Amino acid sequence: MYKVLENLKYSKTHEWVSVDGDVATIGITDYAQASLGTVVYVEGYEIGEHVDQGAECGAVESVKAASDIMAPVSGDIIDINDDVINDPELLNKDPYANWILKIRMDNEAELDNLLDSASYKDEQK
């Protein structure tokens, strides 16, 4: 079983979300990094860009595959983790400590469309 943290929300496309006020911090799950293998490239859209829930907001590439990062919530990108951009393998070391981007949410009710940890664990079965 893959590591799933209790205090986060999850998308069916394997992104995690941590919420602080109206800011959503987003990364990829342990399942996603394990499925990808060694991550060699991470791209996030530009700060200031607006993304819609379910739309692409970046990409992760590994030695095995490439995968789009899908925005779990709508809003404006307000920060990108340069540490992960410059050292993508940080996602393999600890995908929950190494976030990819932050979005100032337009509508916090969109969080209701995401999975809690128990539901996300069920999706892995």
- Per residue of the chain (125 residues), give pLDDT as tens: 799 999 999 999 999 999 999 999 999 999 999 999 999 999 999 999 999 999 999 999 999 999 999 999 999 999 999 999 999 999 999 999 999 999 999 999 999 999 999 999 998 87
Residue 1, pLDDT score: 74
Residue 123, pLDDT score: 87
Residue 98, pLDDT score: 98
Residue 11, pLDDT score: 97
Query: Is 82 exposed, middle or buried (CB count within 10 Å of its CB: 0-12, 13-18, 19+)?
Result: exposed
